[in-house]
Amino acid sequence: MKKIVPIALASALLLSACAPKQQEEEEVVQNNETVETTIIPSNQLDVTYYKTLVPYKESAARGAVVSNIYTKYDVAESETSLMRLSQNVFNTEDYYFQEGQFISYDAVYEWLAPLSQKEMGLNPAVPEGMDPTTRAKEAPKYLAHIVEQNYLTKTEDDKVGLGGISIGLAMNSIYYYQKEQYGEYYEEPIPDAKLLEEGKRMANEVVKRLRDMEGVGDVPIMVGLFKQLSRNSIVPGTYMATAVADSGNEQVGEWTTLNEQYVTFPMSNPGDYFRELNTSFRNFKQDIDEYFSNYTSVIGRAFYKDNEAKYLTIEVPVQFFSKAEIIGFTQYLTGVLYSEFPNDLTIEVDIHSINGAEALILKEPDVEEPLVHIYN
């Protein structure tokens, strides 16, 4: 079973006491239109991370994601979870990560357009004269963004070349529209079944277009369908399904349905899957209330996979007036984590004030001693 690495723990892992995997640095030649010398880094944080080649190549569509994805949470999740899911196809020992080099910035926007506006548009055509309300129901913008990631492999002659591609199709779960210019915004929810239907149709078309691009060749192409949440969501969406177009195929194979979800705590009416963790979180919150009278609020965000909690991040905003208070409070919370939460859960606690980050606690499953860091 592959280890799931949460987005929120990225910074914590950089501070981890675990030493990076040491290897000798390699200089190789990258296969493309021009001969380029590139370096394979000597360090790898752990096997859940891909190595990236040096010099780092920026995405051909750099900057487009922030214009097309509503929240910072979905921006990060659509990219990092695609990388995580790619490990099921492209392992981190044999493949190196590179941002997408084939779908350009202009191509992204051309593909996102309605078919009635652009010949390459993937979103449904909007008939001339269709009113906004009817369009919201019959021809909304399903596809919000396209994420491309390239995975390179090393050949026997000390060269690296393209070994695979991963594509994330970010789908809108809500279509926002105006009935008149400068007017009020309205919302039209899009059912998951419709997102899957449209996403699967688009996936085959994207694979076909990639096959026609110079340099792609017959490499495997993985496609994931990402569900983007509302504009004001405080948790990210997740990938709904994945499929792979095997070497040379212009269509993806069988789809794998994913059951992943982010939720916030505390909940007022938790469902069966969330009740136990919600109770633990409320007890944790009560412990904080009893320690400090000037405490304000605490928010938890948990990631569930197949109805089981995999990790929990907790944000604790506080008002401190001395370093001694920070140290004392952090020590107190470290003990509370072990008494209130299950031992098999990864937990990150971020303590911050108006001055910024104050302390970090990282508790790994079945580990007696957590990572604790007090910021200077």
For 198-223, how does the pLDDT look when each residue is reduced to its tens digit (9 = 90+)?
999 999 999 999 999 999 999 999 99
pLDDT digits (tens, 9 = 90+) for 308-334: 999 999 999 988 768 898 999 999 999
Write the DSSP symbol of residue 8: G
Domain boundary among 198, 223, 258: 258
Residues of the chain with pLDDT under 50: 1-22, 33-35
Q: Are residues 203 and 165 in the same domain?
A: yes
pLDDT reported for residue 318? 85
Residues 185 and 318 in one domain: no
Q: What is the 3-state secondary structure (H, E, C) of 299-333?
A: EEEEEEECCEEEEEEEEEECCCCCHHHHHHHHHHH
Same-domain check for residues 269 and 248: no
Q: What is the pLDDT of residue 199?
A: 98
pLDDT given for residue 295 in this prediction: 63
- Last residue within a domain, chosen from 242, 258, 274: 258
Q: Domain of 103? A: 19-258
DSSP string, 355-375: TEEEEEEEE-TT-SS-EEEE-
Q: How many domains does the chain have?
A: 2
- What is the residue whose two structure tokens read 């400068």? 182
Where among 240, 258, 276 does a domain terminate? 258
**Is the domain of 239 the same as that of 318?**
no
pLDDT for 16: 36
For the segment 18-47, what is each residue's pLDDT rounded down to a tens digit?
Answer: 444 445 556 555 655 444 567 877 666 677
Nearest residue to 358 (alpha-carbon basis) of 350, 370, 348, 366: 350
* Average pLDDT of the residues of the chain: 88
User: Which residues, at least 6 apart from 141, have a Cβ–Cβ distance to it below 8 Å?
Assistant: 112, 114, 123, 172, 175
Strand boundaries in the chain, DSSP class E: 21-22, 26-30, 36-40, 43-44, 51-52, 95-99, 143-154, 159-172, 174-178, 185-189, 221-228, 239-245, 256-257, 260-265, 299-305, 308-317, 346-353, 356-363, 371-374
Contact 93, 49 (CB under 8 A): no
